[in-house]
Structure 1
């Protein structure tokens, strides 16, 4: 549906949302019903509901305790080994691997000093760097995943680093060629960030990271989380956690300083993170203003109004082509309505199936002759993943 031959030599940009990590980490969609037809709450909707109608904020803070316990903490502790422990996790890792392999195949075909593209993501997790590490360790692919950080004992994130690239020179300098590079730009922050004075430090060692929830609080939270995950529950079924106000306030005081954009309309609490957030939005805007820009979105709902408005403004660039990959036909219709009147936007959906990350890799972002990616032979098949899961359960 998106011919790689038509876009590989353009200024490539991807915008990846939580749909890419579905099965490995929860999305913001809850299962609790709103009471209107079959509609269900999203975490954003429920947070807005509590902000407006719960003056004591107990349920609001408890909701973010649930979000931290179910999504952020697992992302902090994520490893390739833990992900491969479930069939869904192994499939998600395989999809990230397929995507990176395809993108690297695209940029490798570009001119010798122009082998770069940008992957913007609103995900906090480390799927991209973890999978990139595995590819690099295998030694079959030479590339750079540029996360914008530089340093040795302390790696500091700076926006200007996304403009650099690694160049390889031949003996006596007779030729130069850039190593394929993917700029990884976290628009909503990362679990690997921390504040270091007036700068942002990046560290992929999460072993000493404290859990913001005590064992007692985590246990008291379980009935609340169970109601959010119950497809038959409504708002009236949501119980009070029983967690005292001091514990709620202590959690919130630490949580709101985390280096992430929360799924509500307010943004970063810390100025250093907020400044970087707007620098990254400016970078996205700049990239979409180039003459032959291409933006491909997957797993992203455009719920972030800053990003939505930025993309809308960029559509005045006649050289920009946007492909919005939608999970379902109904989602595609909603996106077409949101972007109606813009001829340089194509909303894509599959006719007979949902567009999950597997379908996106196999049926949407494809080479025109159907040839497989270079590392396809090394990737585990679904049958192998199932056998691996069976063996792990038997051990």
Structure 2
């Protein structure tokens, strides 16, 4: 449905939402009924309602969110995730997608072999899977998370403009290394505030949770009601947390480097500033003459991102592919982007578009006979000594 042969040589951007990690980590969808047909509350909707009505259940709702979504992301380990389903399939899909993206950028022109992955997920699926691919040694690439440093890695927007090349011992050639820029739009569990900067660290083994066993026990009836398809809002009980306990949790929660789902904003100024820098980066990328944006598992609930994409659609060279999980989602997206000819809302005729279906049926390699690579005529037939991908790269760079 998306021919890689048509887009690989353009400025490629991907936008991933929570649907990509579904099965390994929960989405923001709750099961409690809204009372309007078969619709269910999302965490954003219910939190907004509780906040507007000053409902005491607001902070317990964020406790549930922390316990079910954020804390599991902090504790995520590939060693445990790949041992059982559905986590093993989710990790396999991330691996498949990254391999496909790298194959795409490897075919781009020298010194321009990169793409951008924007994600609203807090988890570490992309960096953890990238680490495994690099350790195996079969693919040479760079995952640029925007951080630089040694004992302390500091996140700065300008680092996304960096590009790594290799040159020969005598400087006779330059060989570009495929690069994926990973941009966390809603923050990351691996971020922490260090004075006035954001520090990135992937070892969370000593990070303590915000809720102990006693707190989890108090929260359990509340969470069970939220996850019960038969529940209505009246069935969601208040909790036995004291006001002091709720306030203590909220102070700690507000320090976390993640977007608050009720207002899609960070509480900390340093995170907020980076958030808007990343939105500007997304806007800049979508303004390029041959930009491509592919979205998956993303609902466009973030109004900042939705409005940014809408404004960018005035760029006649931009192509947007919105991957829809189901027919109702497809109808909603068609309505949202109605009138924009450079947007294609994609869905599967048979079945739902999960991550596996996206990899196997949507982001599709064309047949070898129809893959048109923009390669100089002199490279149509390579000498035997240049048949390896690395050697071919070097030979191309010399021309």
Which residue is equivalent to 2:269? Answer: 271
Using the alignment, how far apart are the partners of 1:327 and 1:25 within structure 2? 17
Q: What is the correspondence of 1:371-386 to structure 2 with a 5 Å cutoff?
A: none
Q: Which residue number in structure 2 is paired with residue 392 of structure 1?
A: none
SS at structure 1 position matched to 2:151: coil
Task: Kindly provide the CA deviation profile for residues 127-178 of structure 1, in whole angstroms up to 9, marking residues without a partner as x.
Answer: 0000000000101000000000000000000000000011011231111121
Could you tell me whether the CA contact under 8 Å between 1:168 and 1:178 is conserved in 2? yes
State the match for 1:393 in structure 2.
none
Post-superposition CA distance 1:84-142 (Å, at most 9, x none): 23210000000000000000000000111100000000000000000000000101000
1:333 corresponding residue in structure 2:
331
Match of 2:221 among 220, 223, 230: 223
Q: Name the structure 2 match of 1:378.
A: none
Task: State the match for 1:201 in structure 2.
Answer: 199
Cα separation, 2, equivalents of 1:104 and 1:228: 40
Name the SS of the counterpart of 1:111 in structure 2: coil
In the superposition, the TM-score normalised over structure 1's length comes to 0.92
More divergent stretch after superposition (12-21 vs 43-52): 43-52
C-alpha distance in 2 between matches for 1:264 and 1:108: 40
CA contact 2:264–2:302 (8 Å) conserved in 1? no
**Cα distance between partner residues in 2 of 1:61 and 1:369:** 53
Q: Residue in 1 aligned with 2:168? A: 170
Query: How far apart, in 2, do the equivalents of 1:37 and 1:97 lie?
Result: 38
Q: Distance in 1 between matches of 2:65 and 2:201?
A: 23
* Structure-1 residue corresponding to 2:4: 4
**Contact kept in structure 2, 1:146 and 1:162, CA below 8 Å:** yes
Residue 228 (structure 1) shift: 0.5
- Match status 1:302 vs 2:294: no
Q: 2:227 and 2:61 mapped to 1: Cα distance?
A: 12
Partner of 2:27: 27
Other-structure match for 1:248: 246
Structure 2: state its 5+ residue gaps: 370-399
Q: Runs ≥4 in structure 1, deviation > 2 angstroms?
A: none
Secondary structure of 2:199's counterpart equals strand
Deviation string for 1:300-319 (max 9, x for gaps)?
00000000000000000000
Contact 1:15–1:121 (8 Å) recurs in 2: yes
Q: Over aligned residues, Cα RMSD in angstroms?
A: 1.0
* Aligned equivalent of 1:181: 179
Across the two proteins, how many residue pairs are aligned to each other?
369
Instruction: Name the SS for the 1:19 alignment partner.
Output: helix
Deviation (angstroms), 1:266 = 4.7
Aligned to 2:372: none
Give the distance between the partners of 2:222 and 2:314, measured in 1 at CA.
46
Shift of 1:325: 0.3
Superposition map of 1:77-96 within 5 A: 77-96=75-94
**Structure 1 residue 58, shift from structure 2 partner:** 2.4
- 1:84, 1:337 → 2: CA distance? 38
Task: Give the alignment's TM-score, normalised by structure 2.
Answer: 0.91
Report the 3-state secondary structure (helix = DSSP H, G, I; strand = E; otherwise coil) of the residue aligned with 1:165.
coil
Contact 1:58 1:248 in 2 (8 A): no
Q: Deviations over 1:256-308 (max 9, x none)?
A: 11100021115111110000000000000000000100000000000000000
Find the aligned partners of 2:324 and 2:126 in 1 and give their Cα distance: 21
130, 133, 142: which one pairs with 2:131? 133
Which residue in 1 is equivalent to 2:44?
44
The CA distance in 2 between the partners of 1:275 and 1:132, in whole Å, is 27
How far apart, CA to CA, are the structure 2 residues paired with 1:200 and 1:43? 27
2:13 alignment counterpart = 13
Residues 83-122 of structure 1: matches in 2 within 5 Å?
83-122=81-120
